[in-house]
Structure 1
Amino acid sequence: MTNEQPRPDRILEIANGYWATGILGVAAKYALFTHLEAGADTAGRLAAETGMSERGAQTLLDGLAGLALVEVHDGGYRNTAEASAFLVAGRRADLSGYAKLKFAQMDKLANLPEVFHTGGPVQAMTEVADNPHWEEVVPAIAAQSVPVAVTAAELLGLADAGEVSILDLGGGSAIFSSIWLELNPSARSTQLDWEPINAIARRLLKERHVADRFTSVDGDLHSVDFGTATHDIVVYSHVAHQESAEDNTAIFARARRALKPGGTFVVCDYVVDDDRSGPFFPLLFASEMLLKSRKGGTWRQSDYRSWLAEAGFEDVSFHATPSPATLVFAR
């Protein structure tokens, strides 16, 4: 038994958490991690490379050291392994765009008291096909799915699966299609999403030299026909949290009809434990859905099991990934 008294440290860290978002967002804006990776390892060198003041560069480095994203090394600074993997420009899993996106959204937090009071968004919804923000948002959120798509491919044995047909529902940047088509030169993929988003996906897949095996269908996944017994794999990545329970059930049933016998439905999302005790990130992300979505949320494992059973799936499994997201396989 311990007599140790509670300390305020963690509460103070949480209350000042916006500084972590701000420091990371500014560091991403100035490509600080990319400059560090290239050898600009002091405040003076970073100031010269980025155009910020030397005082600003030093303070930013101090903050990043406090966040354990950079470390002091041989009288200078260097990226931690985590920052090197996920915050250096040009790397496929680079989350710098995501960090800048979250920094730009901080002003929306002022609406939270009313959002929690009313149980939903208080500003006009922006999730429409012709919103120009897709050019920024779609590439920015793609990187978070890179390790998940690789993990899913390994679990599915996709590289050696031969000629498979993939349907990606609301695939956005087509990051799953991109990675899977690279791993399997015999695979083909079709993405269903809004036309401006599909245009971004086609451009990104052209850069990866796999666009010749990628087809896009423009439209709303709630109404466009998925086909019948057409695809070996149907992917539903980071869409379930935007949808209601009823819409997810209906989409799952249509996904099952689109699968060939023996095919696999792959869901990727932030999944909450049945008793709502964790994990941390999915529990926190539910507040973002309250802010931005009329009916969405972070759903429990039991919710997915129920929806998938109602859709006719009999074999359901959950798989951890090297990210906060969980993979759900249903057959």
Structure 2
Amino acid sequence: MTSTVAPVTPIPLMELTTGFWKFKALAAAVDIGLFAAVHRRGEATAADLVADLGLEPRPLRMLLGSCTALGLLDKDGRGYRNAPPAAEFLVPGGERYFGGFVQYSDRHAYPAWGRLQEALRTNAPTTWDASTQDSAFVAETSSAILENFWDAMFSISSFTADALADAHDFGRHRRLLDVGGGMGPFPVGLCRRYPHLRATVYDLPHIAAKARAKVEGLGLSDRITAHGGDFLADAEFPAGHDVVLLSMILHDWDEPTSRAILRKCHAALPSGGAVIICELVLDDDETGPLPAAMMGLNMLVETRGGHNWTDGEYRDWLTGAGFGDIRTVPMRAAGANAAIIAVK
């Protein structure tokens, strides 16, 4: 009798082992300006791109073949066009340009992940020096080290903001406080979706300044403000808001710090106000989902005590901070798979 059980092969291991090949092809294409060059011409031949990019024909041929196989370029005869994902997100100048995240990952995260074994053995980050800094965010000089960080976070969080707007009805809220809101992607996205909503970005002073400039450039200064402060050190959060957002914030910190943040959220809200935790949330048995598990490992190389926590842990912390009526709403976004919403 012939067995119907599929044989075990090393193919999945080969795909895992060479996974960085795909990323580095994408990162190289972004870095040398391939998608921008194709965009300028509309359709470009290999000879056009040799002239535009200053590459020899042999390496360019290999890069074009790889990017086409990856679905980043479309080829029609001899000409290449940007495929929809590249046309939409990898041409510089767009509001949701994703290339900043690619470059941040290539220049900052990729070398740190190369030291993952060190992080595992020392339980210390490899993206910054924990012996001289309290976190990766406190000093303005960190902006030079994380050259593309804030643009990258604006891009990826813009998509998550859209998913959150679909998952939760902000029509019931009037004023949003975005704790650790960076340059304001969530307030921008949510205020565009909900014309009545007003919002405050609450972040470190030099980041709040970036948020003001970004919001002004988008014509939303009349509805979105920025408050400079330190949500870890400040005794109280800015008052006057009926919903507080923590998007990809609690995974940066250990449990005691996260509980303290939630207590401040509770104190800042009126009765009936809500807090929203937007994260890649682990299943309670910690077997997945894969993006949450891998982001948790990323927190090992990026933070001193961060972790991607389980739904049960978040619920326990919310209850301990005094919140009730807790519900978890699934989401589908690059930056989050769930919004955990609780009411004071």
5+ long unaligned stretches in structure 1? none
Residue 50 of structure 2, aligned match among 47, 62, 65: 47
CA deviation string 1:167-213 (max 9, x = no partner): 11011111111222333343322122111111111111111101233
Matched residue count = 328
Q: Is 1:182 paired with 2:192? A: yes
User: How has the CA–CA distance of structure 1 residues 128 and 223 changed in structure 2, closer, same or farther, with 3 Å as cutoff?
Assistant: closer
Q: Is 1:321 paired with 2:332? A: yes
One-letter amino acid matched to 2:50: A
When the two chains are superposed, the root-mean-square deviation of aligned CA atoms in Å is 2.2
Residue 116 of structure 1, aligned match among 111, 120, 134: 120
Query: C-alpha distance in 2, partners of 1:272/1:44?
Result: 48
Identical residues among aligned pairs (%): 29
Query: C-alpha distance in 2, partners of 1:103/1:270?
Result: 22
One-letter amino acid matched to 1:16: T
Query: C-alpha distance in 1, partners of 2:254/2:330?
Result: 23
Query: C-alpha distance in 2, partners of 1:233/1:216?
Result: 16
CA contact (8 A) 1:129 1:195 kept: no
Deviation at 1:328, TM superposition (A): 2.1
Which position in structure 2 is the counterpart of 1:213? Answer: 223
SS of the residue aligned with 2:324? coil
Query: C-alpha distance in 2, partners of 1:324/1:174?
Result: 15
SS of the residue aligned with 2:242? strand
Query: C-alpha distance in 2, partners of 1:92/1:30?
Result: 20
CA deviation string 1:216-265 (max 9, x = no partner): 2222101221155x212211111111011111112112212222333221
User: How has the CA–CA distance of structure 1 residues 7 and 37 changed in structure 2, closer, same or farther, with 3 Å as cutoff?
Assistant: farther
Q: TM-score, normalised by structure 2?
A: 0.87
5+ long unaligned stretches in structure 2? 131-135
Query: C-alpha distance in 2, partners of 1:227/1:142?
Result: 22
Which position in structure 2 is the counterpart of 1:169? Answer: 179
Query: C-alpha distance in 2, partners of 1:51/1:185?
Result: 48
CA deviation string 1:286-306 (max 9, x = no partner): 221111211101111111111
One-letter amino acid matched to 1:111: R
Residue 59 of structure 2, aligned match among 44, 56, 59: 56
Q: Is 1:259 paired with 2:269? A: yes
Deviation at 1:37, TM superposition (A): 4.0
CA contact (8 A) 2:101 2:152 kept: yes
Q: TM-score, normalised by structure 1?
A: 0.90
Query: C-alpha distance in 1, partners of 2:90/2:168?
Result: 28
One-letter amino acid matched to 1:181: C
Aligned positions of 1:72-221 closer than 5 A? 72-105=75-108, 106-121=110-125, 124-125=129-130, 126-131=136-141, 132-133=143-144, 136-158=148-170, 160=171, 164-221=174-231
Which position in structure 2 is the counterpart of 1:15? Answer: 17
User: How has the CA–CA distance of structure 1 residues 31 and 232 changed in structure 2, closer, same or farther, with 3 Å as cutoff?
Assistant: farther
Deviation at 1:67, TM superposition (A): 2.5
Residue 308 of structure 1, aligned match among 318, 327, 335: 318
CA deviation string 1:31-69 (max 9, x = no partner): 323333451333222333333333332211222233333
SS of the residue aligned with 1:262? coil
